[in-house]
Amino acid sequence: MDTLLLILICGGGYLVAYHTYGRFLAKKIFKLDKDVTVPSVAFQDGIDFVPTRKGIIFGHHYTSIAGTGPIVGPAIGIIWGWLPAILWLFLGAIFMGAVHDFGAMVVSLRNDGKSISEVAAKYINMRVRLIFFCVVFLALLIVIAIFGVVIAAVFTRFPTAVVPVWLQIPIAIGLGFAVYKKTANVTISTIVAVIAMYLCIAIGSRFPVTLGPIAGIPATGIWVIILLIYAWIASTMPVTVLLQPRDYINAWQLFIAMGLLMAGAVVAAFSGNLPLVAPAINTNLPSDVPPIWPFLFVVIACGAISGFHSLVASGTSSKQVAKETDSLFVGYGSMLLEGFLAVLVLVCVGAGIGMALQISDDTTLTGLDAWQYQYRAWMGSQGLTSKIAPVVIGAANMMETIGIPKSVGITLMGVFIASFAGTTLDTSTRIQRYVVSELATDFKIPFLGNRWVATSFAVLTAAGLAFATGADGTGAMKLWPLFGSANQLLASLALLVITLYLRKKGGLKYLFTAIPCLIMLVITSWAMVRNEMDYISQENWLLVIIGAGISVLALWMIVEAVIVFGSKKATENSH
């Protein structure tokens, strides 16, 4: 299939889905009301609860949920072929992922901006609340520790990205100050901030920063420490100071990057230089590749459906949405745009990499040879650099067709990946602070509920995990194999809570979330059982114990939910 046609079909399909299925859900299923008082207004405090313009909160939400997920997932998952990957990205995003994100946001908006964990107690019972909190805390613990390593790895691999990423902070603070304190024009302020951001990229390309060991701590460990300190500071500040404006300008960075990739795809396609060299269905898989069922649906999470999104939708974003009707654009729309980003990434690794893959000083592969060389082994078991390399190379090849030097394209992608990982780190730490505070309230430990104490607990536990295996800060990698299935399990449980919410409304509305919930429960449970068998055969008892624990907690929650679902209480009308 023509690569450009594939991009246009997917992009057009997402637009149609937003204006049809998305609007149907908003009007008929969730019945959004623009006049109802939302949490950002009812509990406005200038720190976490802040009514925000739709475009700005869209930027925050989108960059927070995207992270590196829609980049790494498709880059790995294409090994089974571009066709199953694209079908999952397209259909999954429309009928599962966007419904999941949108539903989690609406349910939180109608429950005082509380997290999906907290809401679970209302629609199931108090026991489930603690179960959900345990799963969420573990997932966020891994995310915070891992994303410190992700950014450290990007800084090490792309030293030209260091200066631009850090200079985004004062630019974002300046943007927030101009808009919120000086009531400056948002459009003009945005243009100035984006221009400044790209000037910083030019500066970074001339002044790469490389760290060496300090006091026996490797560069990755140093970066993890610095990043966790930054996360503590960023997560205790009012959202309007740094979180919102940084995510907002990062969203514009993404829009520009996507525009450049689209332009490159158009030019390359019309010159006949962008065929899909990846097989539609790969029948010549390396021996170490796991079966497509169920692992495609776990490997490709962000871009199709991801449980982490429910934490953002019900964590930070629901506290900033200014009108209930904005949640369609923010919740449903941002997930579709993330799906489209994942499609572009798939094109980078399925077609762009075939334009040129340099494997040595005097050898450059093209076409199917380039793709087969890159995917000669299972990347899921390799390091981060090997996972993002085909995306960066393919994107740089495509940008080169519109006159952007490959070295500049590589820098742009390095900054892009590190920036997105940074926004996820910020948001995850803030959400973990909410989780700790809510738990502190439940267990009547007021000291732990303090904003600074709760954030310190979130950061220190992540640091403990990061440095559990040594000074390089990569300790969370020990638990990373669990994250894929745990993340999709979290999506299943969030859909379960949304289903019970709709069940209380009466009628058959709940089927729009119940069906995706059942599909994800089956797929995720299947993947977790397969993983447990692998961990046992490898005698990796740490993963066996934690994986089994997560599975038992999830099963317990499902049983409790099924009991509630079948009871008379489940059909009582509840706002």
In a domain, 165, yes or no: yes
Position 29 in a domain: yes
pLDDT exceeds 70 at position 569: no
Range of the domain at 455: 3-34+57-571
> Residues 231-261: pLDDT tens digits?
999 999 999 999 899 999 999 988 999 999 9
- pLDDT above 90 (res 296): yes
Q: What is the pTM of this model?
A: 0.93
Burial status of residue 238 (CB atoms within 10 A of its CB: 0-12, 13-18, 19 or more): middle
Task: For residue 346, give the amino acid letter.
Answer: L
- Position 1 confidence tier, pLDDT thresholds 50, 70, 90: low
Could you tell me how far CA 276 lies from the centroid of its own chain?
A: 26
CA distance 55 to 35: 19
Would you say residue 51 lies in a domain?
no
- Residue 214, classed as helix, strand or coil, is strand
The CATH number of residue 119's host domain is 1.20.1740
**Per-residue pLDDT band at 574 (split at 50, 70, 90):** very low
Interval 122-141: pLDDT, tens: 888 878 888 888 888 988 99
Q: Could you give the number of structural domains in the chain?
A: 1
pLDDT at 226 over 80: yes
Angle at 253 (CA atoms; ends 250, 259), nearest 5 degrees? 145
pLDDT tens for 403-455 read 998 888 888 888 888 888 888 898 999 999 998 998 888 788 888 989 999 99
- The predicted model gives 358-373 an average pLDDT of 91
Q: Say whether 281 sits in a helix, a strand or coil.
A: coil
Residue 429 is assigned to a structural domain of this protein: yes
Whether pLDDT at 9 is above 70 = yes
Supply the mean pLDDT for the chain. Answer: 91
User: In this structure, which amino acid lies at residue 400?
Assistant: E
572 pLDDT tier (thresholds 50, 70, 90): low
Is 391 within the bounds of a domain?
yes
Choose the weakest-confidence range: 37-41, 220-224, 338-342, 480-484. Answer: 480-484
Residue 534 resides in a domain: yes
Tens digits of per-residue pLDDT, 307-330? 999 999 999 999 999 999 999 999
Q: Is residue 228 part of a domain?
A: yes
Task: Give the Cα separation of 36 and 22 in Å (integer).
Answer: 20
Cα–Cα nearest to 150, from 67, 74, 232, 66: 67
**d(C-alpha 367, C-alpha 374), whole Å:** 11
Tell whether 40 is covered by a domain: no
- Is pLDDT at 364 greater than 80 in this prediction? yes
Residue 444: its pLDDT value, please?
85
State yes or no: pLDDT of 531 exceeds 50: yes
Say if residue 101's pLDDT is above 60: yes
Read off the pLDDT of residues 453-508 as tens digits, 9 standing for 90 and up. 999 999 999 999 999 999 999 888 888 888 888 899 999 999 999 999 999 888 89
pLDDT exceeds cutoff 80 at 384: no
